A and B are shown apart, each in its own frame.
Chain A
Amino acid sequence: MKLLLWLVVLLVPPRPTDCLPLLPRPLLLHLGEELSLRVGGGSPASSKGGDRALLQEGGVEKGKRSEEPPLSLDLTFHLLREVLQMARNERLNQQASSNRAIMDSFGK
């Protein structure tokens, strides 16, 4: 019986301890191309570009009611929906894990 249990343990693939959803490689590369962080309302700086750091230079002074967001992310709706879908999947997985833990504790 013990031998059988050991065999089962060795044959079952390991599950990740956290529910980190893995990004497919094409999406990761795509993120690198499409993602840029706009600082201080100027033209977007690429993620690998220089440090524009316009916020540090006082892009928006406190008390001044400028409507231009000092920090913004250039992201397409397509990518936004992709990461949103990943987040929904993570939430469902986490809820399932939580339910499993609760049911396990009920069974004890």
Chain B
Amino acid sequence: MRVMERTFREQLFFLVLCLSVLKGDTRYIENNEISKDELFSFFNSELKRETPEEFLYRRPLRCLDMVAVEGQFTFNAERPQLSCAAFFMAEPNEVISVDYDNVDIDCRAGDFITVFDGWVMKGEKFPSSQDHPLPLYERYVDYCDSGSMRKSVRSSQNVAMVFFRIHNAGSSFTLTVRKHINPFPCNVISQSPEGSYTMVIPQQHRNCSFSIIYPVAIDVSEFSLGHYNNFPKRAMPGCAESGDFVQLLGGSGIDTSKLLPITDLCISFTGPTHMKIGCDNTVVRMVSSGKYISRVSFSYRVLDSQELQTLKLNNVEDFCFNN
């Protein structure tokens, strides 16, 4: 009798449990209206932060333009425009995506819209071919070649640009520019003539550069090569034999492989190394073998006209006047 009662009780409990589940009286997960994302969206490493359509910044795109904001930029050809280009720029820790929208051009007539992964000026490219993961021809993405297949292009660093040519008045296109976080920036062009930056290469066999398109006074405050277990590195006899070092480069172009070396740093140190470099482009370039966690910290400010004049007077060589 007792066994029968226990069995009946268990069956009754089970029945009540099933009814509760089916009726939905058990605890449920409340969907917070504030969060419109799905429950497990936080597992997605790409944070969704697209600006709603009504808040998207919009303005016309000019034949020569520089864009440092997210938004939609529309080019309407009032007359044939055969030589146009727009530079895109983001913060050092961001990359840029460019989406083609509402493209109305005549590819067969010779129109083109070509996005380049980097900047090209006077036949020189940034990043250089040595420092960029893609071969040169893959860095150009032509709408007329890839149009419907590839409506979005993402840069590998904080700069990109677009070249376009329109033969017919009335043709138009829109580019939507967005920025995305780059957790490990490698090649950077500085937006401003002054600031500070720390470049880190986390045990990767690659070369990274930070380009400042102004004549600057630069202070390198720290250069370290950390082992994975954070033991200090022994000083190497010379930079040429070291696979890990920092170069200061200068010149009048944007291709870092064509700039002239000003000095090399290959021994870990803490303490300011101060230099004034009168070049149009000053670059801090870090070469990493991948054995260490390489890090260099520096600050910079633009040289005023007096300092530039002093540099010119004090230097015999005609190479960018550095002290």
Contact = CB atoms under 8 A, between A and B. Distances in A.
B321 interface: no
The list of the 6 closest CB pairs from A to B, nearest first, reads A37-B83, A87-B66, A83-B66, A87-B68, A47-B83, A77-B280
Given A88-B191, A90-B68, A91-B68, A36 B59 contact: no
Interface string B72-114: 0000000000111101010000000000000000000010101
A38 B120 CA distance: 10
A66 B136 contact: yes
A20 to B, nearest CB: 5
Interface string A60-82: 10111111111111110100110
Q: How large is the interface on B (under 10, 10 to 19, 20 to 34, 35 or more residues)?
A: 35 or more
Interface string B247-263: 00000100000000000
Given A41-B123, A60-B137, A69-B124, 15 more contacts: A19-B59, A47-B63, A51-B167, A69-B125, A71-B116, A72-B122, A73-B85, A73-B163, A80-B213, A84-B68, A84-B89, A87-B69, A88-B191, A88-B192, A90-B69
21 contacts: A19-B57, A38-B122, A51-B110, A51-B167, A55-B114, A65-B136, A66-B136, A66-B137, A69-B123, A70-B140, A72-B120, A73-B122, A80-B87, A80-B121, A81-B213, A83-B64, A83-B65, A84-B191, A87-B67, A87-B69, A94-B71
